[in-house]
Amino acid sequence: MTTTSATDALEPMLCFAVYSAQRQIGQIYRELLAPWGLSYTQYLVLIALWTDGGLAVGRLGELLGLDSGTLSPLLKRLEARGVLTRVRSATDERVVTVSLTDAGRRLRDELADVPRCFGERLGITQQFADGLREQLKALSEHAAPGKD
């Protein structure tokens, strides 16, 4: 018995646990956001913009940890959908400022239930979620490049 299976090799790896959890979470959000045709990353961008209107692309990238290679096409798609506008700054022509349209602001109300639905789908207590989040934050801080 207990023939060594590949499961035994993968299961003890922290990285695999994070990788799997992230993909399951992505799956839940995919279902929750499907009615609006939004991806998880697009949802994160909206959250940022609901709080801070008029963000530069670079600032948005800092907040989400994404570069222009990811954000540029993503923002273009959201603009094409009429959710936001991309306007080149008058004072610094290099900067593009991203702002929500009325439709984009309306999404805030329409998507108001998403966090609650996500919590229900996970079925964990707030304490558990907060504890896990704190530990992941600590992990991220350790892993951070620590710019020499």
Partner DNA sequence: CACAATTCAGTTGTGCACAATCTTTCTCTC
Partner DNA sequence: GAGAGAAAGATTGTGCACAACTGAATTGTG
Which positions lie near DNA, rule CB under 7 A?
19, 23, 26-27, 30, 39-42, 56-59, 61, 65-77, 86, 91-97
116 binds its own copies (CB under 8 A): no
Q: How many helices and strands in the chain, by DSSP H and E?
A: 8, 3
Q: Is the Cβ of residue 126 or residue 145 nearer to DNA in the bound state?
A: 145
Query: 80: Cβ–Cβ under 8 A, 6 or more apart, which residues?
Result: none
Q: Which does 103 bind (CB under 5 to 8 A by kind): DNA, its own copies, none?
A: none
Under the binding rule (CB under 8 A), the answer on residue 136 touching its own copies is yes
Binding flag, residue 143, its own copies (CB under 8 A): yes
Nearer to its own copies, 93 or 144 (CB): 144
Q: Any contact of residue 33 with its own copies (CB under 8 A)?
A: no
- The Cα-based distances of 107 to 3, 90, 97, 113, 118 in angstroms read 52, 28, 20, 11, 17
Q: At closest approach, how far in Å is the CB of 83 from DNA?
A: 12
Looking at residue 34, what DSSP letter applies? G
- Packed helices 68-80 and 40-51: angle between N→C axes, nearest 10 degrees: 80
